[in-house]
Chain A
Amino acid sequence: MTESFAVPQIVIEVIYLIASALFILSLRWMSSPTTARHGVLAGEVGMLLAIGGTLLHHGIIDYKWIAIALVLGTIIGIPLGKVAMTAVPQRTAVSHAFGALCVTLVGTAEYYLRAPDISPFMMAVIGMEVILGSLTFTGSLMAAGKLQEILPQRPLTYRGQNFVNLSLLAVAIGLAIYLVMHPGATHVFPFIVGIPLLFGISMVIPIGGADMPTVISLLNAYAGLSAAAMGFVLNSKLLIIAGALDGSSGFILSVIMSKAMNRSFTNVIFGAFGQVQAAAGGAEEAKQVRSATAEEAAAILSAANKVVIVPGYGMAVAQAQHKVRELFDALTKRGVDVKFAIHPVAGRMPGHMNVLLAEADIPYDRLLDMDEINGDFPQTDVALIIGANDVTNPAARTDASSPIFGMPILDVDKSRTVMVIKRGMSPGFAGIDNPLYYLEKTLMLFGDAKGFVGNIVRELGGGQG
């Protein structure tokens, strides 16, 4: 590195320092919805500073391609920033893929620029960068495909799958170790990119739609770690910091998601989820359920003091959130206290349900997470479940033989009346029967979520006493 022209390296480094501070502040401000938008602004300023500083870098001789790439990236980025809120999970997966692609390409270029003169440590981080980067790239594309329903959402499994997956990973790591010892073996390098690309695909194939929140968080962590590794390669402290922040965010979310699904952390790390499926379904079908009409449901709701609505992904699939908002308004106008209970895995990624409800203009202080709301259910007159199933299944508390035993659930069965809007009696995602539906206090409201909520709203508006 030589210091030349007008801008000394130290100035660029100071700019990076400021950008790092802004990034940390940006995440700090995300702690509350009141300050969160400052966080975005801080992030944007930090990013602009960092890019501006980099463009001053003395080694840059050709700005043409940089300019074209920046413009092209912006053209691709704008539509990605404008997707519908229901499509945010797949958008996020695609952006993990892009991030990982960038890291992998830079790692590859750096390797070929430097080989064979690479220290063992440097080779180890380059190896980590491209392995994590390329598996995140294809893994995220697979996840996006499943979320967009281009690919089948059902988990695809075959015999020896774990063995095949682990072998692929082991071979890639083995070759990376070989490269650490023989950094000049340039013909080996393509394999430590290619094999993890395959591994990324095979890793996500066996994962079902219900596990997507965990997968996305995990891929987020991998993307962050690979970026941090790239920071080591380029000796860029800014990148190490950004990667470490992103990586820890991904890991924290993975842990939250895995706890909410009652999976162990090691289970998450090794990607061995999606295995809990397919337990015994309902053996005896003769159990009685009580059903009610929209008119009856409206009468019960309007007589209640406290109502808790439990939305699940089924609500979003039915596009019912705006009708739910109307219900919220109608009940609030009658003096009913309405809250929403959000299970951590409601939706297709962490926090997704909150975004969907916020989009429907439901105030965020009415959205309570599981730990906040569970103590309220015994004082709740009506728990109204819309499109959620397993997260309300009391078998998770009581039935040790249930596949979801131990999973933290919303204690809706403790409220005085439970109402469940559901198309029919088919079991939920994981194929597990829900004893909640057979309780004396439970009323089944059979129908489409959007239509049924609309009918309740009409009944409420009709002013029956």
Chain B
Amino acid sequence: MSGDLLDNLFIFMLAGFIGFEVIKRVSPLLHTPLMSLTNALDAIAVVGAIVLAGEHKTNMAAILGTIAVVAATSNIVGGFLITDRMLKMFKSSRGAKS
């Protein structure tokens, strides 16, 4: 257990730094789509919810898990949809002229 914990802390630390470096480079132009995209990615929490709903260890866990799957899935679907819709609108004047 403590081995896992330490591994996970390392991963958290590294991912935090990667996130910082990568997101620093995102143009302020795209901060809104960035937020909706990270929101969709964050909904990867759905994996935990799916296991809870599917393992059906107790009724309560299954019910909470199922609601959690609904919430996360709506973020995945809605988040990717709106991000792509927004990004489609960003056009360059150079591109438009050619």
Which A residues fall within an 8 A CB radius of B? 19, 23-24, 26-28, 30-34, 36-37, 39-40, 43-44, 46-47, 50-51, 53-55, 57, 59-63, 65-66, 68-70, 72-74, 76-83, 85, 88, 91-92, 95-96, 98-99, 101-103, 105-106, 108-110, 112-113, 119, 121-122, 216-217, 220, 223-224, 227-228, 230-232, 234-250, 252-253, 256, 342, 344, 349-352, 354-355, 358-359, 361, 363-367, 369
- Per CB-CB distance, the 6 closest pairs between chain A and chain B, nearest first, are A73-B73, A81-B81, A77-B77, A351-B31, A60-B54, A80-B78
A68 contact from B19, B33, B57, B66, Cβ within 8 A: B66
CA distance A63 to B53 in the complex (A): 8
The answer to whether A27 and B73 touch (CB under 8 A), given A236-B47, A239-B44, A355-B32, is: no
The answer to whether A235 and B4 touch (CB under 8 A), given A74-B74, A113-B58, is: yes
The answer to whether A99 and B19 touch (CB under 8 A), given A88-B36, A112-B60, A236-B48, is: no
What distance in Å separates the Cβ of B30 from its nearest Cβ neighbour in chain A?
Answer: 6
Q: Are A243 and B22 in contact (CB under 8 A)?
A: no
CA distance A232 to B92 in the complex (A): 42
Q: Which of B35-83 contact A (CB under 8 A)?
A: 35-58, 60-62, 64-83
Further 6 A-B residue pairs, CB within 8 A, beyond A55-B50, A240-B11: A24-B22, A65-B66, A81-B85, A113-B61, A227-B44, A369-B28
The answer to whether A237 and B11 touch (CB under 8 A), given A27-B38, A96-B39, is: yes
- Chain B hits for A59, CB < 8 A: 51, 54-55
What distance in Å separates the Cβ of A309 from its nearest Cβ neighbour in chain B?
Answer: 15
- Chain B hits for A101, CB < 8 A: 67-68, 71
Q: Are A51 and B47 in contact (CB under 8 A)?
A: yes
CA distance A372 to B10 in the complex (A): 37
- Chain B hits for A81, CB < 8 A: 77-82, 85
Q: Are A27 and B31 in contact (CB under 8 A)?
A: no
B8 contact from A53, A235, A364, Cβ within 8 A: A235
- Chain B hits for A241, CB < 8 A: 11, 15
Interface centre among B22, B35, B45, B55 (most CB of A within 10 A): B45
Q: Are B89 and A355 in contact (CB under 8 A)?
A: yes
Q: Are A249 and B64 in contact (CB under 8 A)?
A: no
Number of residues in B with C-beta < 8 Å to the partner? Answer: 84
What distance in Å separates the Cβ of B7 from its nearest Cβ neighbour in chain A?
Answer: 8
Q: Are B90 and A240 in contact (CB under 8 A)?
A: no
CA distance A18 to B37 in the complex (A): 18
Q: Are B61 and A354 in contact (CB under 8 A)?
A: no
Interface centre among A57, A95, A235, A342 (most CB of B within 10 A): A95
Q: Are A121 and B77 in contact (CB under 8 A)?
A: no
- Chain B hits for A19, CB < 8 A: 44
B87 contact from A36, A47, A62, A68, Cβ within 8 A: A36
What distance in Å separates the Cβ of B82 from its nearest Cβ neighbour in chain A?
Answer: 5
Q: Are A40 and B27 in contact (CB under 8 A)?
A: no
The answer to whether A83 and B82 touch (CB under 8 A), given A98-B75, A245-B19, A351-B30, is: yes
- Chain B hits for A88, CB < 8 A: 32, 36, 82, 86
CA distance A361 to B55 in the complex (A): 49
A61 contact from B39, B56, B87, Cβ within 8 A: B56
Question: Could you list some 29 contacts between A and B, CB below 8 A?
Answer: A24-B18, A32-B27, A43-B37, A55-B54, A65-B56, A65-B62, A69-B70, A73-B74, A76-B78, A77-B73, A77-B75, A77-B81, A81-B85, A83-B82, A85-B86, A92-B32, A92-B39, A99-B43, A102-B72, A103-B68, A113-B57, A113-B61, A236-B47, A242-B42, A250-B35, A350-B34, A351-B28, A355-B86, A358-B90
Q: Are A112 and B69 in contact (CB under 8 A)?
A: no
Q: Are B94 and A109 in contact (CB under 8 A)?
A: no
The answer to whether A92 and B42 touch (CB under 8 A), given A106-B64, A358-B91, is: no
Q: Are A119 and B1 in contact (CB under 8 A)?
A: yes
Q: Are A102 and B46 in contact (CB under 8 A)?
A: yes
Q: Are B86 and A358 in contact (CB under 8 A)?
A: yes
- Chain B hits for A217, CB < 8 A: 35
- Chain A hits for B54, CB < 8 A: 55, 57, 59-63, 65-66
CA distance A88 to B94 in the complex (A): 27
B52 to A, closest residue via Cβ? A109
Q: Are A78 and B31 in contact (CB under 8 A)?
A: no
What distance in Å separates the Cβ of B59 from its nearest Cβ neighbour in chain A?
Answer: 11
CA distance A11 to B50 in the complex (A): 18
B26 contact from A30, A78, A232, Cβ within 8 A: A30
A33 contact from B30, B56, B81, Cβ within 8 A: B30
What distance in Å separates the Cβ of A256 from its nearest Cβ neighbour in chain B?
Answer: 8
